[in-house]
Structure 1
Amino acid sequence: MSIVSSFYFELVSPERCIFSGDIKSILLPLEDGYTTILAGHSAILSTITPGIITIEPVCGDILRYIVFKGIVTVSSLNCIILTDNVFLMDEFCVGALNSRISETNDIIENICDFERKYHLEQFVLDLSCLRNSLHLS
């Protein structure tokens, strides 16, 4: 019996496939906190929350991406993330976060539905916390 040490991963946005290939592990920001996925993981279907996706490819350097939201599906052999917005974690991602925070605050000002307003305010809070936690060298 052989131990599986890698699995297939795709990070997909509406515009393009951001990453596709075999990886050793991935750290995901899920609703219940950050979760590490390894080969052979049990099946999951979950929501991605604003945070950092950390990918450890089989070959190459660790990659980090900023996501705002999305859906992840995991099986024992693969992991696929569908997301609207994803940015490589670099000096430009703070600008993207600031833009999204500003756009969402503009939307909040014109909303009368309290439940929707609450969810958008929580989204802004999550993005602000993410922005404040970034340590870019």
Structure 2
Amino acid sequence: MVMADFNFELVSPERLLLSESVSAVVIPATEGEMTVMANHAPTMTSLQPGVVTVKFADGKTDRYVVFGGFADILPTGCTLLAESAVHVDEVSRDDILKRVEVARGELEAALNDEHRASIERYIAQLGTVQGTILPA
């Protein structure tokens, strides 16, 4: 069985990272990891920090790290609008530690328990990203 391809775009405020025809994309949706393929039901979901795995028609895969954002999914394609995104090879431990440091600063200024919990979740997700992509 041949998998149908669909258009996938990964966009960050800085640049368009990828615009290709792909066979599948795995995204770190807030509700959990989600695989998107051609003819997917229309969906919008927010993203948590994590790894986006892109599978191309030729079977090759590529990975990008996103730090939040949202995905707009249609039967014909998927657009991922990331708050920040980089190719997995461009992420450094320092970059993640800086993000954790900034988030910890925000934690001290958190307005309420809900805000504090969301920042703590973000810090935990950054730790998961670090463990996933960077060797110990």
Q: How would you bin the TM-score normalised by the shorter chain? A: 0.7 to 0.9
- What are the ranges of 5 or more consecutive residues in structure 2 without an aligned counterpart? none
Q: Which residue of 1 aligns with 2:125?
A: 126
Q: Comparing 52-61 with 12-21, which one deviates more in the overlay?
A: 52-61
Superposition misfits of 4+ residues, deviation over 3 angstroms: none
Q: Which residue of 2 aligns with 1:43?
A: 42
Whether 2:77 is the aligned partner of 1:85: answer no
> Normalising to structure 1: TM-score of the pair?
0.87
Tell me how far 1:62 sits from its aligned partner.
1.3
Tell me how far 1:32 sits from its aligned partner.
2.1
Alignment map for 1:1-137 (pairs within 5 Å): 5-59=4-58, 61-90=60-89, 92-136=91-135
Tell me how far 1:33 sits from its aligned partner.
1.3
- What are the ranges of 5 or more consecutive residues in structure 1 without an aligned counterpart? none
CA distance in structure 2 between the partners assigned to 1:111 and 1:31 by the alignment: 21
Aligned length: 135
CA distance in structure 1 between the partners assigned to 2:42 and 2:74 by the alignment: 4
> Normalising to structure 2: TM-score of the pair?
0.88
Q: Using a 3 Å threshold, how does the CA distance of structure 1 residues 93 and 18 change in structure 2: closer, same or farther? A: same
Q: Using a 3 Å threshold, how does the CA distance of structure 1 residues 8 and 114 change in structure 2: closer, same or farther? A: same
CA distance in structure 2 between the partners assigned to 1:92 and 1:35 by the alignment: 22
What is the CA RMSD across the aligned residues, in angstroms?
A: 2.1
**Which secondary structure state, in structure 2, belongs to the residue aligned with residue 9 of structure 1?**
strand
Tell me how far 1:23 sits from its aligned partner.
0.5
CA distance in structure 2 between the partners assigned to 1:123 and 1:90 by the alignment: 22
